[in-house]
Structure 1
Amino acid sequence: MSLAAEAFVSQMAAAEPWPENATLYQPLKDDQILLSDHASSLAVQAYLRMCGLPVQVVCRANAEYMSPSGKIPFIHVGNQVVSELGPIVQFTKAKGHTLSDSLDDVQRAEMKAYMELVYNMLLTAELYVQWCDDATAAEISRPRYSSPYSWPLGKILAYQKQWEVRRKMNAIGWGGKSLEQA
């Protein structure tokens, strides 16, 4: 998100209090959600609970396609839709809810850097293991990811997701790594 867009969202968010009917969307919990998506959803839920903000969790088969960024989880608060943990934290901060008020600017910057590093490395490793390296893991992930969709669409979407992950792995230099190297 650009700085101008972030500033606009912050101003809009600050103008309204947190509603009681805020909704967090994620894929189907028992059938479809992947480990990385479940971890992201739990992180958002934990953060919102720690801030004392009510949120209702709704599972939808097409949650990934409902999200403005194509990434999950995402929240619907009033007339705002925000996806991914970082932007959700910024959004709640704009509404006056934060967990880092007691930290100075350097500590806050270090905390954010460490969180991003750990999140990106763990997510990358998990995606690699789940979709790219082991044929068995890919055979488990494809049916799980495509489970809510009928035959040709489910198969197409699962392979599309696998190709997307492989492109990402190749872009960051993980395409040729073995499971031990990841």
Structure 2
Amino acid sequence: MSLAAEAFVSQIAAAEPWPENATLYQPLREDQILLSDCASSLAVQAYLRMCNLPVHVSCRSNAEYMSPSGKVPFVHVGNQVVSELGPIVQFTKAKGHSLSDGLDDVQRAEMKAYMELVNNMLLTAELYIQWCDDTTATEISRPRYSSPYSWPLNQILAYQKQWEVRRKMNAIGWAGKSLEQTD
């Protein structure tokens, strides 16, 4: 979608009030959700509650594949689907709901910097530990991630996820790091 089309859709979305039947989608809570996805989902839930916006949480085994960005969690609000914390915050702000209205520009910039630091460093380190340490990946991440699927799909999807994370680690220069260097 072009930037102009996204801006137009955002303006239309802003005109509509927050519906009572908004839904937050995430992976299965008991069997499948990984630590980073759980943290992201809880962050979105906390934010929406702090804004007094009703949302129903729906756990799906294929939530990652339902998401427009391929990342969870995501919300379905009216005819809009928005994924990940940052875009969800921007979407709610466009609808007139914000927690940062009382902050000045410097405080808002500091808040965004801290949020980016957490997302870029801590979540990346957690992904590294989950998927790039072969022991952890074999014992925890692969079986948990693939639990809702039958063989051979469970094996294929788990290895696909591990390769995706390793490609990301390569791109940011973390591929050759040891666990001690990620601290």
Please state which band the TM-score falls in when normalised by the shorter chain.
over 0.9
Q: How many angstroms does 1:12 deviate by?
A: 1.9
Specify every segment of 5 or more residues in structure 2 that has no aligned partner in the other structure, as ranges.
none
State the alpha-carbon separation in 2 of the partners of residues 132 and 9 from structure 1.
39
Give 3-state SS (helix, strand or coil) of 2:48's partner. helix
The corresponding residue for 1:148 is: 148
- Determine the C-alpha separation between the residues in 1 that align with 2:6 and 2:122: 26
Match of 1:163, SS? helix
Q: Give the aligned partner of residue 72 of structure 1.
A: 72
- TM-superposed deviation, 1:116: 1.1
For the 8 Å contact 1:9–1:91, the answer to whether it is kept is: no
Match of 2:137 in 1: 138
Report the counterpart of residue 88 of structure 2 in structure 1.
88
Q: CA deviation at 1:2?
A: 6.9
Q: Which amino acid aligns with 2:136?
A: A
C-alpha distance in 1 between matches for 2:90 and 2:59 = 23
Deviations 1:163-182 (A, max 9, x none): 00000001101101111110
CA distance in 2, matches of 1:150, 1:156: 10
Show the 5 A alignment for 1:24-43.
24-43=24-43
CA distance in 1, matches of 2:116, 2:2: 18
Instruction: Show the counterpart of 1:166.
Output: 166
Q: CA RMSD in A?
A: 1.3
2:19 corresponds to: 19
The count of residues paired between Structure 1 and Structure 2 equals: 181
In structure 2, the residue matched to 1:175 is 175
Provide the C-alpha distance between the structure 2 equivalents of 1:104 and 1:92, rounded to a whole number of angstroms.
Answer: 19
The structure-2 alpha-carbon separation of the partners of 1:116 and 1:2, relative to structure 1 and needing over 3 Å to count, comes to: farther
Q: Following the alignment from structure 1 to structure 2, what is the Cα–Cα distance between the partners of residues 64 and 130?
A: 17
Give the 4+ runs in structure 1 shifted more than 3 A. Answer: 1-6
Structure 1 gap segments, 5+ residues each: none
Q: CA deviation at 1:105?
A: 2.0
Distance of 1:48 and 1:12 partners within structure 2: 20
- Identical pairs, percent: 88
Partner of 1:47: 47
State the Cα distance separating 1:120 from its structure 2 match.
1.6
